[in-house]
């Protein structure tokens, strides 16, 4: 009793009509089923049936970090980070509210920064990020870290964010994001080519024109049991030809990395801005055209080369334009569910689907 929860939307175009609702718990009655009494009625319907259900996430934590009132107009809040290969950064049970600084690189609520292999000693677990001004959980230049059982609600830009493309062997597990705010005009286009955007004052990272709940430029990470509600896409796998920015010196070629694990994830209420977008989108490209750090992004038809298969298992999508959209050379899907979508899956190359419920 006294804690806050968010009940996610069960409409498709989440960004046009925000039907996510935050309520406070008045009473909890435990029995064969747990009955929670809220402080006031819900304004909207939130679907829960046998095929899919709206998520409910706890927003209250025992430790609070909050940006002050003076930062509201400029969307300028606090930020935290663990930096360096010899450091450890462990955050558990913290609520970050009005944190991050819009369009300020590196100023994110929770942030692994250039920890390299030292990420094995670091984790973010069971935190809540609410009303963020810029991202929520960032893994930058860090491998082997753990991001587990966290909540993000009402974030700006890519929410769970792997930054430069060199990040590998990280575990992103059992997290949830709801209501992702795109920065600037949403990426669209009249054809498969999409649109191109340069970094500018509106979006310092042009890929934020296609802000997603989970942004994974290097697929060699374990993405397991997560739930994405809203955003340009729920899960985005953009094509990186090279590592970028502070990781540009690495020899890793992100687009040639095989998907380590993508299992048990759910996405809904996304992909409405462009005809080829999806609740999970493998496509688009971010690159440095002049080698000066000023990046360019296209949401169009770019694919990962055939360097092993992208294996997707136990994936569920609902209320999407496309449940899963991939320009890649190969995606193998095992146990795929798609409900109330325009198209269940758009897969190219020699892709396959086994055990589908559509």
pLDDT digits (tens, 9 = 90+) for 50-91: 999 999 999 999 999 999 999 999 999 999 999 999 889 999
pLDDT at residue 200 is higher than 80: yes
Backbone torsions φ then ψ of 268, nearest 5 degrees: -155, 165
Distant-in-sequence, close-in-space partners of 140: CB < 8 Å, separation ≥ 6:
106, 111, 112, 113, 114, 162, 163, 164, 167, 246
Look at residue 309 in the predicted model and tell me its pLDDT. 67
For residues 332-357, give the mean pLDDT.
91
CA–CA distances in Å: residue 259 to residues 75, 223, 243: 35, 9, 17
Please report which confidence band the pLDDT of residue 269 belongs to, taking 50, 70 and 90 as the band edges. Answer: very high
Instruction: Concatenate the DSSP letters of all residues of 181-207 into one string.
Output: EPPSSPP--SSTT--EEE--SS-SSGG
Look at residue 306 in the predicted model and tell me its pLDDT. 61
Look at residue 153 in the predicted model and tell me its pLDDT. 98
pLDDT at residue 244 is higher than 60: yes
Contact 281, 323 (CB under 8 A): no
pLDDT more than 90, % of the chain? 87
Look at residue 330 in the predicted model and tell me its pLDDT. 83
pLDDT at residue 308 is higher than 70: no
pLDDT at residue 307 is higher than 60: no
CA–CA distances in Å: residue 309 to residues 42, 228, 238, 313: 44, 23, 16, 12
């Amino acid at each position: 009793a006294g804690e806050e929860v968010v009940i996610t939307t069960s409409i498709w175009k989440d960004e046009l009509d925000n039907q996510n609702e935050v309520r406070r718990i008045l009473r909890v009655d435990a029995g064969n089923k747990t009955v929670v009494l809220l402080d006031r009625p819900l304004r909207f319907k939130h679907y829960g049936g046998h095929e899919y259900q709206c998520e409910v996430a706890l927003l209250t934590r025992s430790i609070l970090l909050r940006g002050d009132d003076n930062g509201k107009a400029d969307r300028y809040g606090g930020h935290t980070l663990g930096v360096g290969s010899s450091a450890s950064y462990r955050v558990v049970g913290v609520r970050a509210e009005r944190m991050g600084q819009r369009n300020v690189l590196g100023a994110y609520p929770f942030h692994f920064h250039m920890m390299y292999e030292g990420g094995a000693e670091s984790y973010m677990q069971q935190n809540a990020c609410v009303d963020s001004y810029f991202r929520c959980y960032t893994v930058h230049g860090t491998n082997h870290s753990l991001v587990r059982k966290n909540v993000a609600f009402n974030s700006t830009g890519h929410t769970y964010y792997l930054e430069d493309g060199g990040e590998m062997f990280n575990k992103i597990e059992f997290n949830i994001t709801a209501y992702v705010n795109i920065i600037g005009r949403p990426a669209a286009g009249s054809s498969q080519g999409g649109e191109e955007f340069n970094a500018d004052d509106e979006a310092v990272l042009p890929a934020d024109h296609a802000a997603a709940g989970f942004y994974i430029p290097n697929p060699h990470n374990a993405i397991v049991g997560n739930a994405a509600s809203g955003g340009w896409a729920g899960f985005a796998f953009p094509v990186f030809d090279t590592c970028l920015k502070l990781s540009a010196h690495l020899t890793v070629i992100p687009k040639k990395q095989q998907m380590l694990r993508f299992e048990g994830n759910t996405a809904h209420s996304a992909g409405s801005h462009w005809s080829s977008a999806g609740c999970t989108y493998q496509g688009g490209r971010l690159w440095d055209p002049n080698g000066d750090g000023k990046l360019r992004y296209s949401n169009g038809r770019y694919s990962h080369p055939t360097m092993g298969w992208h294996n997707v298992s136990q994936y569920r999508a609902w209320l999407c334009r496309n449940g899963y959209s991939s320009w890649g050379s190969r995606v193998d899907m095992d146990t795929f569910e798609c409900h109330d979508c325009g198209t269940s899956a758009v897969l190219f190359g020699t892709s396959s689907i086994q055990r589908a419920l559509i």
